[in-house]
Structure 1
Amino acid sequence: MSLALYGHPFSSYTQKVLVALYENNTPFEFRNIGPDTPEHTADWLRRWPLRKFPLLVDGERNVAETSVIIEYLQLAHSGPARLLPTDPMAALDVRFLDRFFDLHVMTPVQRAVEGALTGDPARREEGLAFAIEKLELAYAWLEGHLGGKTWAAGEDFTLADCAAAPSLFYADWTHRIGPAYRVLRAYRERLLARPSFARAVDEGRPYRPLFPLGAPERD
């Protein structure tokens, strides 16, 4: 098998790529990075010493960064689900939304998680306050943007939704998407019901105790 993905099932960015792979039933080997698989960790660091995952390996080619990985899969291992439109302007809209979810939803969540992981109450509070402020801005924008749409960019499931699924999954755990955001809450529910993401969520389920802000009993 030529394709291998290094990552962790509970990692939001790993899940983003897993959704893309599952959407097209792309064959690959998953190489879990953890204390029980030191050989995977060593090989991953040899291939990508910046210590970021996921990392896609295609033969001797190493592909880093989730958005690039998904675009690479479409170019080199395409399937029936086209996750980036052929129209350049439509593709630009999808890329923008992909960046929005990574930078304006997932990044604040990571700030809160990192603060909690320090064990310092002050840093935990500071990280959570930052996340709440930024997520409220993102939620409000998304509530307006998503009106009348099935998926992030319209009627087709795209790269943007691969980014949105884990971002909104963990964002709602960090700062609950309130009832005022009816459209956004419904979109998150559609993402959770999508078979590709439902599979990724189930694979990460055993690791929920690792979430430092307290993983809720829902989802």
Structure 2
Amino acid sequence: MSLTLYAHPFSSYCQKVLTALYENGTAFTYRVLEQEDPEAGAEWARLWPLKRMPVLVDGEHPVLESSVIIEHLDLFHPGTARLLPADPKAALGTRMMDRFFDNYIMTPMQTIVFDHLRPADARDPYGVARAKAQLDDSYRWLDGAMAGREWAAGGAFSLADCAAAPALFYADWVHEIGAAFPHALAYRARLLARPSFARAVEEARPYRHYFPPGAPDRD
């Protein structure tokens, strides 16, 4: 069956799925959700009225939510790189790390980004401070977890690394990881060097002006 992905190159959750697709060289039709293609946007809204990216369509079946999309690919369109271990216990560990990156890196990062979209008189300094504190706690935990590991789940590149790549990429832009967390920093660098994620980063480069706090001149 053919695969169609409705996504935007600059979206962190879209990059998560794109990394999985590129990791295995999976063939798909890319419907970029940009103003230049209103038809793609209309199709996407019909598929998922909540209008959250990305959406994968497998044949005629829409698949929603980034983690579920990657597991769907691993089950029904597997490549040489299996993104979820076959062993149930190891798979739980991989899923836990996936949730860590989405909930404790991606979510506070987005809190900071979205605050920049608020009117000046509606900003939430307290909420931003809490988000930065949570990122510091998450960086500290991750730094310990990554000591002696190459990839997030401790083995091969997996679903967890697909989640980690855009989460750490953008989180460091809004609240730098810093030299106090050398293992987390080295892991972020390995993710940026991974060809599958590097491709997603390059495809998103023309859209960096979209980043509300302003994209740094690096990466």
Per the shorter chain, which TM-score range?
over 0.9
| Equivalence for 1:211 | 211
Q: Where does 1:27-42 land on structure 2 (aligned, <5 Å)?
A: 27-42=27-42
| Equivalence for 2:90 | 90
RMSD: 1.1
Stretches of structure 1 that go unaligned for 5 or more consecutive residues are: none
User: How far apart are the structure 2 equivalents of 1:168 and 1:107?
Assistant: 11
Q: TM-score, normalised by structure 1?
A: 0.97
Aligned to 1:151, what secondary structure does the other structure show? coil
Q: Where does 1:1-219 land on structure 2 (aligned, <5 Å)?
A: 2-120=2-120, 123=123, 125-219=125-219
Q: Residues 109-147 of structure 1, C-alpha deviation per residue, up to 9 Å, x if partnerless?
A: 111111101132651534432321110010000011111
Aligned to 2:10, what secondary structure does the other structure show? coil
Q: TM-score, normalised by structure 2?
A: 0.97
Percent identity over the alignment is: 60
User: How far apart are the structure 1 equivalents of 2:103 and 2:218?
Assistant: 25
Shift in alpha-carbon separation, 1:126–1:38, aligned structure 2, 3 A: farther
User: How far apart are the structure 2 equivalents of 1:55 and 1:108?
Assistant: 23
Aligned to 1:117, what secondary structure does the other structure show? coil
1:50, distance to aligned residue in structure 2 (A): 1.1
Q: Which runs of 4+ in 1 moved over 4 A?
A: none
User: How far apart are the structure 2 equivalents of 1:207 and 1:121?
Assistant: 27
1:2, distance to aligned residue in structure 2 (A): 1.2
User: How far apart are the structure 1 equivalents of 2:180 and 2:210?
Assistant: 30
CA contact (8 A) 1:34 1:41 kept: yes
Report which stretch shifted further, 126-135 or 73-82. Answer: 126-135
1:21, distance to aligned residue in structure 2 (A): 0.2
Count of paired positions: 219
CA contact (8 A) 1:102 1:163 kept: yes
User: How far apart are the structure 2 equivalents of 1:176 and 1:115?
Assistant: 17
Stretches of structure 2 that go unaligned for 5 or more consecutive residues are: none
